[in-house]
Amino acid sequence: MYDEAEILLDDLPKDYMEVNFGPHHPSTHGVFRFIAKIDGERIIDIDPVIGYLHRGIEKIAENRTYVQFKPLVDRLDYTGGLNNELCYCLAVEKLMDIEAPPRAQAIRVICAELNRIAAHLIFFGAMGLETGAFTPLLFGFLDRETILNIFEIMAGGRLTFNYITIGGVREDIRSTVKTYFDKFNKEFPVKLKRYEELITGNEIFIKRLKNVGILKKEDLFNWGASGPTLRGSGVKFDIRKVEPYSGYEKYDFDIPVGTNGDVYDRYLVRMEEIKQSMRIVAQALDNLPSGDFTVKVPRIIKPPEGEVYVRNEGTKGEIGFYIVSKGDKNPYRLKIRTPSFSHINMLNFAASGNYIADAIVILGSFDTVMGSCDR
Amino acid sequence: MVWWSILLWALLKLVIAFLFIFITALILIWMLRKIMGHMQYRRGPRHHGPHGIWQTVFDTIKLLGKEDIIPSGVDRWTFIWAPMIIFVPSLMAFVFLPFAEKIVATNIEISLFFVLAIMGLSIIALLMAGWGSNNKYALLGGVRSAAQMMSYEIPMLISAMGVVMMSGSMNLSEIVRAQQHIWYIVPQLVGFFIFGCASLAEINSTPFDIPEAESEIVSGFNVEYSGFRFAAFFLAEFVNLFIVCALAALLFLGGWLPFTNPVYGTIFFLVKTYVLIFIVMWIKSTFPRFRIDQFMNFGWKVLLPLSLANLFVTGVIVLMVDKFRGV
């Protein structure tokens, strides 16, 4: 035993220090841990350690019916629960070969986009915190609060909703949602402009983010990156446009892309996406189709034998559900593809060689959520 | 005077100074929480007393009453002494600050020099805390603060020298009296800017709070401290904030001027100091933090040359004015 340890020690270069970050660290976004080898202020190597929030959700799915499993889906990426639900329900619907009515589809789009705004507001706050400014965090959470209040009227929940059901949504949208949203829509752009004046144009903030953690397109493809992280490097890839689901083709919105691929671009892409999502929600609420909010589905859902992979644009990137059905009331196998997992793997590649402070900022720019990474 | 009366007198001064800085630190913490709160659409402390003014008092009492934890594996003596030593420079610097005409605990000829020299000593406590904690974050924080103070002490001193050149004295009271006609912020605007930046770095305030960067090294040198030892670090930070703001008010904003009456003078001096403190807190609640290399660049490549140029220009002008007047 002793000899082994000695050999290991001899192999390592002598002049570095190993520092453990996390799992309880203010800026590792939940219970992420990484072991960094640092040489002075520079990071030589990062070894991510994940699994502190592993709940075995994929295995649980095999022992639960399709409806019973749905509440757990919220808990994957808990900042964007409705996006997860939407993806799961689309997958089961595709398996069962049914489609939600137009009204339900529009409501789903409203949910998903509002949730995207809420998630990006957290990102905005966290990014400020990571560069050392505390105020953006509270500003971000303040506006998120308004959105959560809208969710409360709509779905009854604030973080985990269980609102989107297989075949539609749980209940019809209430008329007050529109009033609340219109008020929000009037106030929010003004506030957003003020926040951007506070932080986006700040000389120090730009200095901290510009030309930090530059990622090239090819590398991102290799690492399986998606979502705003991918778009920050100039790839115009958004599943809402490429494979429109839930009626996204009906709405008019742009896909912001970055040019440089650095942290600042990823930040700007997300800030722009907030505005685009606001546009989508406004359009959806204005042209809400009449009709049913759900189709009739059998009480016990038994999809026919087969397998299906459905993906959608989550708040952090591509969420995918791969479901294998053997005609039972439980899925035979369920695999979840989450963006956070891919992005965290990329951390060493993106951050080693940089300063410690940069590594934190780069990790923040991926906007990972450990619930969705560990599952 | 007999020896014991001198000793008693010195002790009394020390007690008064200690009480004053203790109360000031409590007020400043409350003020920061209130200001930050209101800037973030919050209200800050509300419950104890009007607008929560007793909150920090109770916080301190709570901290003093906590269990004294000394983690195993720390360098015991450095760990225990660091929080006490950090108070020494603050306390000593305080004794030399004149509040108004003749209101000064100890008046020596080189009080400015002495205050600046003493304040540089607080780095020892931070290094001790960083080294003694046996924690990598703390070590990083300690080393960072050493580098920071080293590189910002110099521009701070040089920018203060501009004022000394103009007033022709190193005594703080004399410097204030020399500003009778014009506050030095007008001719020494560059110096004020340099002094401000360097002081922010000196007291580890945003945007130079790299030694305690919460998002990177959690809170740097004081990460292992708790209870009253942590309270000592916390209070010392705010005392230093007061001292640098008071220094800036004395050097550049004319101290107690235009009042020579001790009461009005003191009030006016405190008002100026608190305005500066408010500005620091404003910066604290809105600015992000520099990265260490950018920060070093700023210190050595911007502030140092700028302060030297300022010193040179000031010297030339002072010489020319003297020649012109025929001195």
CB contact under 8 A, A204 and B288: yes
Give chain B's mean pLDDT: 85
Q: What is the pLDDT of residue A1?
A: 40
Average pLDDT over every residue of A234-241: 88
Between residues B246 and B13, the one the model is more confident about: B246
d(CA B151, CA A97): 69
User: Is pLDDT of A189 > 50?
Assistant: yes
User: Is pLDDT of B76 > 50?
Assistant: yes
CB contact under 8 A, A132 and B291: no
Kindly identify which residue of chain A lies nearest to residue B35, measuring between CA atoms: A135
User: Is pLDDT of A3 > 60?
Assistant: no
User: Is pLDDT of A347 > 50?
Assistant: yes
Q: What is the pLDDT of residue A11?
A: 58
Q: What is the pLDDT of residue B207?
A: 83
Residues of B in contact with A365 (CB under 8 A): none
d(CA A256, CA A260): 13
d(CA A196, CA A229): 20
**pLDDT band at residue B182 under the 50/70/90 scheme:** confident
**pLDDT band at residue A9 under the 50/70/90 scheme:** low
Which of A244-258, A329-343, B91-105, B147-161 shows the lowest per-residue confidence on average (mean pLDDT)?
Answer: B91-105
Give chain A's mean pLDDT: 86
Give the other-Cβ count within 10 Å of A174's Cβ.
12
Average pLDDT over every residue of A191-213: 85
pLDDT digits (tens, 9 = 90+) for A11-52: 555 678 888 887 887 777 778 888 888 887 888 888 888 888
Q: Which of A109, A117, A110 is nearest to A141 (CA)?
A: A117
CB contact under 8 A, A204 and B207: yes
**Is B137 within 8 Å of chain A by CB?**
yes
User: Is pLDDT of A8 > 60?
Assistant: no
**Is A142 within 8 Å of chain B by CB?**
yes
pLDDT digits (tens, 9 = 90+) for A80-110: 888 998 999 999 888 888 888 888 889 889 9
Q: Which of B288, B300, B145 is nearest to B206 (CA)?
A: B288
Residues of B in contact with A41 (CB under 8 A): 292-293
**Is A198 within 8 Å of chain B by CB?**
yes
A201 CA: distance to closest CA in chain B (Å):
11
Q: What is the pLDDT of residue A12?
A: 56
CB contact under 8 A, B286 and A139: no
Q: What is the pLDDT of residue B256?
A: 82
User: Which of B255-264, B290-299, B301-310 ranks highest by mean pLDDT?
Assistant: B301-310
Query: Can you spell out the DSSP letters for A177-207?
Result: HHHHHHHHHHHHHHHHHHHIIIIIT-HHHHH
Which of A6-10, B133-137, B185-189 shows the lowest per-residue confidence on average (mean pLDDT)?
Answer: A6-10
Q: What is the pLDDT of residue A300?
A: 83
Which of A353-357, B68-72, B209-213, B284-288 shows the lowest per-residue confidence on average (mean pLDDT)?
Answer: B209-213
CB contact under 8 A, B286 and A135: yes
d(CA A346, CA A360): 13
Answer whether B86's CB lies under 8 Å from B122's CB: yes
Between residues A1 and B203, the one the model is more confident about: B203
Average pLDDT over every residue of A67-89: 88
In the numeric block, which tokens belong to residue A167?
């075949």
Answer whether B200's CB lies under 8 Å from B120's CB: no
Residue extents of the structural domains in chain B: 75-325
User: Which of A5-14, A252-261, B211-220 ranks highest by mean pLDDT?
Assistant: A252-261
**pLDDT band at residue B279 under the 50/70/90 scheme:** very high
Average pLDDT over every residue of A320-339: 89
| Segment 279-298 of chain B within 8 Å of chain A by CB | 285-294
pLDDT digits (tens, 9 = 90+) for A170-179: 888 888 888 8
Kindly identify which residue of chain B lies nearest to residue A129, measuring between CA atoms: B215
Average pLDDT over every residue of A137-152: 89
Q: Give Cα separations from A24 to A52, A346, A348, B49, B271 (angstroms).
A: 10, 21, 19, 35, 42
- For chain A, domains (ranges, CATH) are 10-374 (1.10.645.10)
Of all residues in chain A, the percent with pLDDT exceeding 90 is 5
Instruction: Out of A41, A142, A360, name the one closest to residue B215 (CB).
Output: A360
Average pLDDT over every residue of B298-306: 88
In the numeric block, which tokens belong to residue A116?
């995207």
Q: What is the pLDDT of residue A23?
A: 84
d(CA A159, CA A142): 15
| Segment 17-76 of chain A within 8 Å of chain B by CB | 17, 19-20, 25-27, 41
Identify from A127, A134, A207 which residue to disrupt to test chain B contact, counting B C-beta atoms within 10 A and taking the largest count: A134
User: Is pLDDT of A2 > 50?
Assistant: no
**Is B218 within 8 Å of chain A by CB?**
yes
What's the half-sphere exposure (Cβ side, CA atoms, 13 Å) at A134? 19
Please count the residue pairs, one from chain A and one from chain B, whose beta carbons lie less than 8 angstroms apart: 80
pLDDT digits (tens, 9 = 90+) for B12-68: 877 887 888 888 888 888 998 899 888 888 888 888 888 888 888 888 888 888 888
